Structure 1
Amino acid sequence: MNEQSVLVNGCRYFVRTAGTGPALLLLHGFTGSSRTWEPLMQALSGAFRMVAVDLLGHGQTDAPADAARYSTSETVGDLVTLMQGLGHDRFGVVGYSMGGRIALSLTMMAPVHVTRLFLESASPGLRTDAERADRVARDEALAAYIESAGIEAFVDRWEQTPLFATQASLPEAVRARQRAIRLSQRPRGLANSLRGIGTGAQPSWWGRLDAISAPVLLLTGALDTKFCAIARDMAANIPSALHITVDGAGHTVHLEQPEAYIEQVRQFFQEVEV
């Protein structure tokens, strides 16, 4: 596996690459990093060129002081420039949670570059102005808490979020690795990520999903009822979408049912050449 730091529009992005073949861009969730994808990269690098990115404010990528630098439009522009710089003008995209929202935004804003889209536990944003305003206020409160309390206190709180309750049954080594990734983050990076590209700050794509022409797979854990419902609604609005649920998993299918997750990624991207 190769690791490198790439300058993109004035910010340094940390990137891990492995394998040969059609390119797949891998986008982690909030508090994650490119390390999230190591099992997937190890399993599929024989068939694909895997590009895992530390998103802005996460991992070893820069964490700018200006929250506007984290915006959806800035992030999408960075990712397209990054992939083109690595020699990939067209590529498949895999995104989890926050990374799934970014992957969907990339597909909406720069569709010429995306061949196929694999979304795990993702959403198109919030439907109404009122919902978005409420979420922006809640994300700002959480961002301020991260900055004042520090990473360890935040991670302790974050791990108690009901969305992650199903992770309690994971093997201790898996939970420890996930916690280590979270603890490696920086307060400013996480706080400004919430402010710049949180669910309330991003555009809502609900009214434009029918414009997507690329094949889309929506993957959710059967125990994650909230995101199963979101995925059903998305599948009803995206002409080329398929929604698959995985038994015995909640929000983090890639952690809770890794073998099933890897097989879904493999099958989806091997259906046609990407």
Structure 2
Amino acid sequence: MPHITTRDGTRLYVEEAGQGTPIVFIHEYAGDFRTWEPQMRFFARTHRCVTYSQRGYPPSDVPTDPTRYGQDLARDDVVAVMDALKIDRAHVVGHSMGALTALLVGLKYPGRCLSVTAAGCGYGSSPDAKVVEETREASRQTGKMFQTEDFKSAAARYADGATRQTHKHKDPRGFAEFAQMLTEHSPVGHALTMLEVQAKRPSLWELEGELKKFTLPLLVLVGDEDDWCLESSVYLKRTVPTAGLCVIPRSGHTITSEEPAAFNAALADLIANAEAGRWMAHRGQ
């Protein structure tokens, strides 16, 4: 199985398909490289598509040292994957945990991005510091759950969260596949990712000054039943000058697989306009 090695020696499992302008997909906390299969199959017809499992997610390495996890490391791992595959610039697409990572790649390494997509972005973000701390404490409790409880039981509980109910009831077969893949993850990787990334990452409101200077084409995608991320997605639309917001109706957090056709159509529109230099054409820019 193909792996690349990051600066700190962590090996990440990578798959790619197709030819053309590159697209790099960054999965959510409850996903892995397989999360993006509906997108890989669709976009590989016209683009070079890359998907990988983040550190802590088999078949990538699962470090046991907490210092080998963190939001900055997750951000730089995207660039490590691109460097190893000799990709200079790419459309960087992230979902949930991966969405904030994609945004941070765009902020730190804008020269490596053709566009950025942030789907289901912003859980734990709020202008209210008390709310931010409450969600960080919830993340710490979730991390402890994965550390101390039977992993399959904990994974099933996590999969059955409030913002995934539309997926569960709309597409039981697809939801069952998602939940099964979650049980195949690493308890160590899940615990440390939650404790060291999710519970410590910055709120979007903390990044406001940088986000106002964001210049890359940005697509913000969210399901209208995703109560975790609706307010944050609207905030991104109002804060980032180049942001376009797509709200997918009657849909929850797992929109990449819950509504792949709608997701792919919105992403295809971004990519076509970004590559033509027309993403902001309606504003005369």
Checking the alignment, whether the CA contact within 8 Å between 1:34 and 1:59 is kept in structure 2 is no
Q: Is residue 217 of structure 1 aligned with residue 219 of structure 2?
A: yes
Q: Hey, what's the Cα distance between the residues in 1 that align with 2:204 and 2:262?
A: 28
Specify the alignment match of 2:160 in structure 1: 160
Q: Hey, what's the Cα distance between the residues in 1 that align with 2:215 and 2:241?
A: 7
Checking the alignment, whether the CA contact within 8 Å between 1:213 and 1:240 is kept in structure 2 is yes
Q: Hey, what's the Cα distance between the residues in 1 that align with 2:259 and 2:145?
A: 32
Unpaired segments of 5 or more residues in structure 2? Answer: 277-285
Checking the alignment, whether the CA contact within 8 Å between 2:122 and 2:203 is kept in structure 1 is no
Specify the alignment match of 1:107 in structure 2: 106
Q: Hey, what's the Cα distance between the residues in 1 that align with 2:39 and 2:22?
A: 14
Specify the alignment match of 1:87 in structure 2: 86
Question: How do 1:183-262 residues align onto structure 2 when only pairs under 5 Å count?
Answer: 183-198=183-198, 200-206=199-205, 207=208, 208-262=210-264
Question: How do 1:28-47 residues align onto structure 2 when only pairs under 5 Å count?
Answer: 28-47=27-46
Q: Secondary structure at the match of 2:229?
A: helix
Q: Hey, what's the Cα distance between the residues in 1 that align with 2:234 and 2:23?
A: 25
Q: Secondary structure at the match of 1:62?
A: coil
Q: Secondary structure at the match of 1:175?
A: helix
Unpaired segments of 5 or more residues in structure 1? Answer: none
C-alpha displacement of 1:112: 1.9
Bigger mean CA offset, 224-233 vs 67-76: 224-233
- Which residue identity does 1:76 align to in structure 2? R
RMSD: 1.8
- Which residue identity does 2:235 align to in structure 1? D
Q: Hey, what's the Cα distance between the residues in 1 that align with 2:172 and 2:160?
A: 16
Aligned length: 271
Checking the alignment, whether the CA contact within 8 Å between 1:248 and 1:257 is kept in structure 2 is no
Specify the alignment match of 1:4 in structure 2: 2
TM-score (norm 2): 0.89
C-alpha displacement of 1:139: 1.9
Q: Hey, what's the Cα distance between the residues in 2 that align with 1:226 and 1:73?
A: 23
Q: Hey, what's the Cα distance between the residues in 2 that align with 1:73 and 1:129?
A: 22
C-alpha displacement of 1:228: 2.3
Specify the alignment match of 2:59 in structure 1: 60
Specify the alignment match of 2:135 in structure 1: 135
Q: Is residue 175 of structure 1 aligned with residue 186 of structure 2?
A: no
Q: Secondary structure at the match of 2:2?
A: strand
Specify the alignment match of 1:265 in structure 2: 267
Q: Hey, what's the Cα distance between the residues in 2 that align with 1:257 and 1:82?
A: 27
- Which residue identity does 2:74 align to in structure 1? T
Bigger mean CA offset, 148-157 vs 170-179: 170-179
C-alpha displacement of 1:270: 1.5
Q: Hey, what's the Cα distance between the residues in 1 that align with 2:263 and 2:160?
A: 24
Q: Secondary structure at the match of 2:241?
A: coil
Checking the alignment, whether the CA contact within 8 Å between 2:171 and 2:258 is kept in structure 1 is no
Q: Secondary structure at the match of 1:60?
A: coil
Q: Hey, what's the Cα distance between the residues in 1 that align with 2:274 and 2:157?
A: 42
C-alpha displacement of 1:57: 0.9
Closer, same or farther: CA 166–172 of 1 in aligned 2, 3 Å: closer
C-alpha displacement of 1:127: 4.0
Checking the alignment, whether the CA contact within 8 Å between 1:166 and 1:250 is kept in structure 2 is yes
- Which residue identity does 1:201 align to in structure 2? K
Q: Secondary structure at the match of 1:20?
A: coil
Q: Hey, what's the Cα distance between the residues in 1 that align with 2:31 and 2:186?
A: 11
Closer, same or farther: CA 133–271 of 1 in aligned 2, 3 Å: same
Q: Hey, what's the Cα distance between the residues in 1 that align with 2:43 and 2:256?
A: 14
Q: Hey, what's the Cα distance between the residues in 2 that align with 1:21 and 1:94?
A: 16
Checking the alignment, whether the CA contact within 8 Å between 2:167 and 2:258 is kept in structure 1 is yes
Q: Hey, what's the Cα distance between the residues in 2 that align with 1:72 and 1:127?
A: 20
Bigger mean CA offset, 146-155 vs 125-134: 125-134
TM-score (norm 1): 0.92
